[in-house]
Chain A
Amino acid sequence: MADVTFIVDGKKLTAPAGTLLIDACRKAGIEIPAFCYYPGLSLQAACRMCVVRQEKVPKLQTACTTTVAEGQVFITESPEIAQARKSTIELLLGNHPLDCPVCDAGGECELQDMTFKYGAGESLYAEAKEHREEQQWSPAVYFDRPRCILCYRCIRMCGEGMDVWALGVQNRGVSSVIAPNGGDQLDCEQCGMCIDVCPVGALTSGSYRYKTRPWEMNHVSTVCTFCADGCKVTLGVRQVNDGSEIVRADNRDKSGINGDFLCAKGRFGFDFVESPERLTKPLVRNSQGKLEPATWEHALRFAASKLKEIRDSKGGASIGVIGSNRTTNEENYLLQKFARTVLQTNSIDHVRSTDYAALARALAGHNCKTASLRDIATAPAILLIGGNPTEEHPLLAWNLRTNVRLNRARLYIANTKPIKLERQAKAALRLPADGYQAIPAYLGGSDDTIKDTAFREAVLAEESLVVVFGQEYRGQAVESLVAWGLKRGPNSGSVRFAFLGDHANSRGAADMGLLPDLLPGYVPVTAPGAFQEYPGLPATPGKTLPEMFEAAGKGELGALLVVGANPVASLGVDPAALKNTFVIVQDLFLTETAALADVVFPAASLYEKSGTVTNTYGDVQLAKKAADRAGVKPDFEILVRLAGAMGVDVKTLVPFGKDGVTADLGQSRGAQAGEADRHAVWLAANNLEPRLSPFDPLAVLDEIERLVPGYTLDRINLFGGNDVRTEPGFVPITALKEAASALVAPAHDGLFTSGTLGRYSPALKELEQHQARELAESAAD
């Protein structure tokens, strides 16, 4: 719409015609108070706090329903308006319990803030207040009725925002009450968004209520450690005897990639860090064959000496390394560098949740063909093939719903089974059980097994399309699908892709080269390019994960280092296979794999360390250390210490210190002899200082940026708490070989499960049980 000019408090403002006055004012820095108004949700005009004076209009008008037009004149603060707002607050406070000293929202309460601002401090209310007992609607959600000011945000967030519609308003007048769908129970996705949008303390969180005061916490914004969408999450952290504990998770300032959104896992699942089963001391297998606690010093020295002995006696190829889907990019990079340069092996792999290497191969040489998670919230049209984002990618589902609701985006869904997002879809194509492979040909017009041509025509008519697809596609199938999109030129519409995997950093694991044949950035080990600077890089691909276990079974795997993974459980490996292998595990818990280890190092969770992670869309975000746990160390530090204990010059692994990293001042021989310090040159060229600590992951981030194709990061945004893009299309096409798609093992985590971490979260287990009960009850009805 065309811009119009209007006057607010004497200031001339400009906004597109039809903009809500409250939005136009907020954009211009004029804050208009409101309880019921919530950006993106339907309008209510119920709280009457946003009243303003419009010239030539007899009554005060609500800024949340007034649309701006040319020449209008408004006043947003005056004695009359302040009086109106003050009286509204007086009326609210009449029956409000004023239990602020014990209320969870105290200090973060919009009603408190408004009372403070408009000074409704004197109580004119002489009647007895009506008390109602607090209700527990689910393990996650509690409702304190007298505190509720009936702003209806929760109802709209649950319905319009989440498409769950589990909350309603019942009765009439002063008896009106927010009510859950299960009578006194809440049968829903337990996302906790209702708690999040509640402006007062009416809806409180089962995990946070009565635990602390907001001002007693430190608030640290980091990245959620569960699914591959990578929401920004703000952890509320409080000091305790053995470190600092996380008491709350939300997205407090509504910033970052997920804006308003956070799901049940992100909000409630953090309690795995406090699990009593958490490992806090290294374990070493004793002479009786039992794991027993040991000092870090002893465990590191023992593990290092065994690794060194096996490498030196049997060769690096007899050592296997398995990395993690939830450790940071810097840790993953360091792990593969440690494997390849210290252990002298390319036998490094991870439990692959999707075939990212195939995507890289398919896109090689084509830039700007992937879509970020933000793009999905604004794209005019999206084709979603397979998967069930509502369960597996909650933020993706949120973005799709929001985009359809607010921008009227067109969503097309092709799936073998009905999924909830079809409620937002413009068209849905039901595929036969094996139907995914036919999609590229169907879209290209050369398949006649799928009869619904109207769906294809609608998709093909889109000028700009984002194709979101997942683990149903591997290897050649990924390439066929991408090839269809790349073929469409400027006249037939542009296509971008998003490829779905599981876990917080599985994309990062693949991007950082936790693959036996590919270095970071999908650079083949057979043609290492810039990675030639790795001292002693083995030239041939190593063993895949199954091959490692196969070798172990044959007694050919001398040692196995497992970081943040549980292949024994997730891939169903026979524990006996490892009986002749020296196994080192770094993990948070004594997993099935760790239980077989000779040395177990207690690792820090993502919430207890810093670094970057890459979500499945290729958006990189900065994880910041929030909590602290005595006894554990980040995997980064464990690896550096392990290398140190093996007698390695740590600087060859982590470029730190002022004296140069690879510069040899002409004293060494080999490929790098006589060269300048490339890292120092790169740092200088990028105006960066050398990092001073070998435990600083940013030192490795510098090297990632220097060496890994596609990882040229916008640091201002990254360090500012935003997501920044990577570009897989920078990988040279000739370099790639066909990916090993058979190795993909999707996790298909649901709303309350998340691999190992979810198993140790009491909150998520409780929610899962609650939902199972609700399901059983509604089935019985």
Chain B
Amino acid sequence: MSDETMTLFSPRLAARFDALILKYPLRRSALVPMLLYAQDEVGYLSDAVISEVAERIGITELEVRNVATYYSMLRFKPAGKYNVQVCTNISCMLRGAYEVYERFQEELGIAHKGITADGLFSLEEVECIGACCWAPAIQVNYEFHDELTPEHVPGILAGYRSKAGVPSDGSLSLGWKAGVPSDGSLSLGWKAQAEGNAPHA
């Protein structure tokens, strides 16, 4: 698909997709990554996203839906700008994940798959995210927070609020486009540390 073609995606993502479908022995292999990256940018898999992905891969929209609905990270409705995913699986549960999850529910005033009125946060109870030894753990978008107690919850939310430029009293509503920061980047705390050669204290 050339740059001149109408696309829902940013030029950067469109170019990435052009490369992605040629990367594999069969174009269809690009499907799942494309859906996830499209969701990262658009916020969810809208009908239009599904339609464009189908066209780019060269399969029917039905086939895209068959695949997309299989994977639990993919969603078909908007989430908050920051999607808080709390693992409550066994290792996290044993170390207080439900208490953390309940605290998030209280702080945000939403339940499983709920979304705050300002569109800033959504909340999800999720299955194991691979941080069992640092339990309980959560992911906000792709960012991990680990070894949590309910007391950590307000601070975590405040951090994201300030990242989004919202005063701590939450009074300002900026009309969020659900999803990821507008520059498409993700701040990944752990990654920065990993590359900084810093063994964890």
Contact = CB atoms under 8 A, between A and B. Distances in A.
B116 interface: no
Interface stretch (A106-114, A164-172, A399-407, A558-566): A164-172
B70 A179 contact: no
Contacts of A781: 51
Closest 9 CB pairs of A and B: A168-B66, A181-B62, A170-B69, A168-B62, A171-B69, A172-B70, A170-B66, A170-B65, A169-B66
B66 A179 contact: yes
Contacts of A179: 62, 65-66
Given A181-B60, A181-B61, 20 more contacts: A165-B62, A165-B63, A166-B62, A168-B62, A168-B63, A168-B66, A170-B65, A170-B66, A170-B69, A170-B70, A171-B69, A171-B70, A172-B69, A172-B70, A172-B72, A179-B62, A179-B65, A180-B62, A181-B62, A781-B51
Interface in B61-98: 61-63, 65-66, 69-70, 72
Contacts of B60: 165, 181
A135 to B, nearest CB: 16
Nearest to A155: B66
Interface string A161-204: 00001111111100000011100000000000000000000000
A174 B66 CA distance: 15
Contacts of A168: 62-63, 65-66
A654 to B, nearest CB: 57
6 contacts: A166-B62, A168-B63, A171-B69, A171-B70, A180-B62, A781-B51
Interface size grouping (class) on chain A: 10 to 19
Contacts of A165: 60, 62-63
Nearest to A170: B69
Nearest to B59: A165
Contacts of B51: 781
Contacts of A169: 66
Nearest to B70: A172
Nearest to A177: B69
Contacts of A166: 62
Nearest to B68: A170
Contacts of A180: 62
A168 B62 CA distance: 7
Contacts of B66: 168-170, 179
Interface in A525-580: none
Nearest to B48: A781
Interface in B17-62: 51, 60-62
Contacts of B63: 165, 168
A414 B69 CA distance: 41
A170 to B, nearest CB: 4
A181 B66 CA distance: 10
B70 to A, nearest CB: 5
A170 B65 CA distance: 7
Nearest to A181: B62
A311 B70 CA distance: 77
A169 B68 CA distance: 11
Contacts of A171: 69-70
Nearest to B64: A168
A180 B62 CA distance: 8
A647 B61 CA distance: 69
A172 B127 CA distance: 15
Nearest to B66: A168
Interface string A81-92: 000000000000
A36 to B, nearest CB: 17
Identify which of B60, B63, B66 gathers the most chain A CB atoms within 10 Å of its CB. B66
A168 B69 CA distance: 11
Nearest to B61: A181
Contacts of B62: 165-168, 179-181
Interface string A563-603: 00000000000000000000000000000000000000000
B18 to A, nearest CB: 23
A170 B62 CA distance: 9
Contacts of B69: 170-172
A165 B51 CA distance: 17
Nearest to B65: A170
A778 to B, nearest CB: 10
A781 B52 CA distance: 11
Nearest to B51: A781
A467 to B, nearest CB: 33
Interface in B117-163: none
Contacts of B70: 170-172
Contacts of B61: 181
Contacts of A172: 69-70, 72
A114 B177 CA distance: 53
Residue of A168, A171, A179, A781 with most chain B CB atoms under a 10 A cut-off: A168
Contacts of A181: 60-62
A269 B51 CA distance: 35
Listed residue (B62, B63, B65, B70) with the most chain A CB atoms within 10 angstroms of its CB:
B62
A763 B62 CA distance: 26
A781 B66 CA distance: 20
A167 B66 CA distance: 9
A419 B117 CA distance: 52
A420 to B, nearest CB: 14
B75 to A, nearest CB: 13
A28 B51 CA distance: 49
Contacts of B65: 168, 170, 179
Interface string A143-167: 0000000000000000000000111
A172 B72 CA distance: 9
A781 B50 CA distance: 12
Nearest to A168: B66
B104 to A, nearest CB: 25
A504 to B, nearest CB: 35
Interface string A765-781: 00000000000000001
A613 to B, nearest CB: 38
Contacts of A167: 62
A167 B65 CA distance: 11
B37 to A, nearest CB: 21
B108 to A, nearest CB: 26
A170 B61 CA distance: 12
A412 B90 CA distance: 60
A179 B61 CA distance: 12
A395 B51 CA distance: 33
Interface in A728-781: 781
A209 to B, nearest CB: 24
Contacts of B72: 172
B103 to A, nearest CB: 29
A781 B63 CA distance: 17
From B63, B69, B70, B72, name the one whose CB has the most chain A CB atoms within 10 angstroms: B69
A350 B141 CA distance: 73
A392 B150 CA distance: 69
A170 B69 CA distance: 6
A163 to B, nearest CB: 13
Contacts of A170: 65-66, 69-70
